[in-house]
Amino acid sequence: MKKITIIGAGFAALSAVRKIRKQDKNCEITLIAPRAELHYLPSLIWIPSGLRKREDIIVPLDNFFRRMKVRYHQASVTGLRDGGRTVETDNGDVENDGLIIASGGRFLKKLPGIEHAITPCEGIDAAEKIRDRLSEMKGGTIAFGFAGNPKEPSAMRGGPMFEFLFGTDTLLKRQGRRQDFDLVFFSPAEKPGNRLGPKAVGQLLAEMKKRGVQTYLGARMKAFEQDKVITEAAEFNADLIIFMPGMTGNKWFDNSELPRSEGGLIKASKHCKVESMDAVYVAGDSGSFPGPDWMPKQAHMADLQATAAAKNLVAELDGQSAEATFKIELVCIVDSNDKGMMISRNEQRNVMLPGTVFLHWAKRLFEWWYLRQYR
């Protein structure tokens, strides 16, 4: 019986479980993660407004693991050895014949004073902190921004920052408090959102102008203070700073033989195979893949990569050709709590649909549809 280990319990990891089980009903699957839960991070944007609560976006995975015949190993990974055949954890070693790494990424926290900013995609705690701070504030300036990993162009997650920005504007208007706040958007990019496509940049900047959002663009970040954002070109006061830095690899990668990209992620081929290692694959935010610099770090892309990784791992273990690749595609709805703008991009075209209430409800429907397979 083949022993397959999957590291992680997010989108890529669970998609890999489903694909492997479809192809091989009898292999032994072990999943390693600190919690047997899926946290549906795309819905973090709705926590500050109260549209979603913690319990709405946490899905216990016990039933899913039972259906998929997955052995759950509760632990945090600490390292990897023996060419990937042994995963080291704080709860003992796990041996395998094949491995898929889907443990996500880590945000770069090198900017001086970054402890004064909230990074929303770190999880539910961060989104709830934003909710509570907004509730406490009587007025002031709220600054929203994002940056990338200069050594890894694809290792960034800027889309949610537009959603937190527009969603906060909508929330304050509903509460009759918008006039008491100044909203500011900042980024070292001259054209923030450029990875979403040229059509998206103009529309997003136009939406900011329409909503009365001041912008500071095109200057490198220098530091944060408790009530201030400092760039090379300017500095401005901020009573609340919401900032998404670039991403890099997990700390445990340093205790392994994994080949790394310049930006700290795991180097992989177009087949999601880790370079120079047998039966070791990577999917999602952990990996550095060949492709255009706009290739997104998002749940949809993680699912596509995980499917390819699972196909190829099973094929390799069966002694067959492992040639599956993944489609490079960006699909998102930039939501503002009452309407959404649809953006899609692939290597042939870029489509942008203006904001409508229909797309807001489409995003909520997709959340329900996606999560039902794991409940």
Q: What is the pLDDT at residue 293? A: 84
Q: What is the predicted pLDDT for the residue at 231? A: 96
Report pLDDT for 155. 87
Q: Does 108-247 match 3-105+249-317 at the fold level?
A: yes
Q: In the structure, what pLDDT confidence band is assigned to residue 361 with cuts at 50, 70 and 90?
A: very high
The answer, yes or no, to whether residue 4 has pLDDT greater than 90, is yes
Which CATH homologous superfamily contains domain 108-247?
A: FAD/NAD(P)-binding domain (3.50.50.60)
Question: Taking a C-beta distance cutoff of 8 angstroms, is the pair 274, 258 a contact?
Answer: yes
Residue 186 binned pLDDT confidence (cut-offs 50, 70, 90): very high
CA–CA separation, 293 vs 271, rounded Å?
A: 18
Provide the mean pLDDT of the chain: 96
Mean pLDDT across the stretch 41-68?
97
Q: Give mean pLDDT, residues 169-191.
A: 96
The top-level CATH class assigned to 3-105+249-317 is alpha beta
Residue 265 reports pLDDT greater than 90: yes
Please provide residue 336's backbone torsions phi and psi, each rounded to the nearest 5 degrees.
-125, 30
Rounded to the nearest 5 degrees, what angle is found at the Cα of 332, between the Cα atoms of 331 and 337?
165
DSSP 26-82: SSEEEEEESSSEEE-GGGGGGTTTTSS-GGGSEEE-HHHHHHHTEEEEE--EEEEEG
User: How much of the chain exceeds pLDDT 90, in percent?
Assistant: 90
pLDDT of residue 195: 83
Torsion of CA 39, 55, 115, 294, to 10 degrees: 30
Q: Is the pLDDT of residue 197 over 90?
A: no
Considering the entire predicted model, what is its pTM?
0.95
Q: Where are the domains of the chain?
A: 3-105+249-317, 108-247
Q: How confident is the model at residue 199 (pLDDT cuts 50, 70, 90)?
A: confident
Q: What percent of the chain has pLDDT over 70?
A: 100
Give the residue from 320, 287, 279 showing the smallest Cα distance to 96. Answer: 279
pLDDT at 257: 96
Largest CA distance in the chain: 65
Over range 57-65, report the average pLDDT.
97
